[in-house]
Amino acid sequence: MRPLIVVNFKTYETAHGVGAERLAIAMEAADLASDSADFVAVVSAFDLAPVVAAAPSLQVWTQHLDPVGFGSNTGWLHPSTAIERGASGTIINHAEHKVSLEHVENLLAQLPEGFPVCACAADLDEARALAALAPTMIAVEPPELIGGDISVTTADPEIVSGTAAIVKSVNPDVRVLCGAGVKNGADVAMALQLNTEGVLLASGVTKAAEPGVVLADLISRL
């Protein structure tokens, strides 16, 4: 399988509303032009439907889902609604929106087979526990490096390679990504050398003056 470049739009001003649609269009162009990696946009639930409409061939995930059924669940994000509105995957347990292992387990049980779920882990112990639940992938992101200028691949390469080893020892079918501070093609190349299968990043793309240039650079060393 090709490496994944997963871009979390978060709630950055440049990546919400119309800005989210513009960024998704740039990502779709990069994805169509690439034969070395697959791009994924992770957007706010508010932006899900318009982003899917703006970039119909791009994989568009939602930033969070809740394991709830239909009924009295005010403010929760229902998986079936997200799928109906075009979500083709989700992240869960991001450092900025932590949930319990039970939440992740219940969500995985509720989602249809083949729906990608990327569970985020802050450290090796959390990665091990999440791997036992068999999400599609696990992204290791040390919280202290998120949004920073130094990539996890440089600041703490051992947690990246260590996560890959632990996850594969628990469940070899779970793909491993890394994130926090990833900004350029050198970071992506190093992530793959450390035995991951892609990256999860945000500000390096969402805050870029020319996102298309950054997206092209991210896969320039693959």
The structural domains of the chain, ordered by start, are 4-218 (3.20.20.70)
The b/e string for 75-95 (b: 16+ C-beta within 10 A; e otherwise) is eebbbeebbebbbbbbbbbbb
Answer yes or no: is pLDDT of 155 > 90.
no
pTM above 0.95, yes or no: yes
Which of 96, 141, 144, 210 is catalytic? The answer is 141
Tokens read off for 181:
């501070």
Residues β-bridged to residue 151: none
Annotated active-site residue 105? The verdict is no
- The pLDDT score that the predictor gives to residue 183 is 93
Confidence of residue 209 (pLDDT cuts 50, 70, 90): very high
Annotated active-site residue 102? The verdict is no
Contact 162, 170 (CB under 8 A): no
Q: Average pLDDT for residues 29-43, to the nearest whole number?
A: 98
- Alpha carbon 40 to chain centroid, angstroms: 7
3-state secondary structure of 61: strand
- The pLDDT score that the predictor gives to residue 16 is 97
Which of 94, 97, 126, 144 is catalytic? The answer is 94
CA-to-CA separations, 79 to 11, 65, 169, in angstroms, rounded: 20, 6, 30
Confidence of residue 33 (pLDDT cuts 50, 70, 90): very high
- The pLDDT score that the predictor gives to residue 144 is 86
Confidence of residue 182 (pLDDT cuts 50, 70, 90): very high
Answer yes or no: is pLDDT of 150 > 90.
no
Q: Average pLDDT for residues 205-220, to the nearest whole number?
A: 97
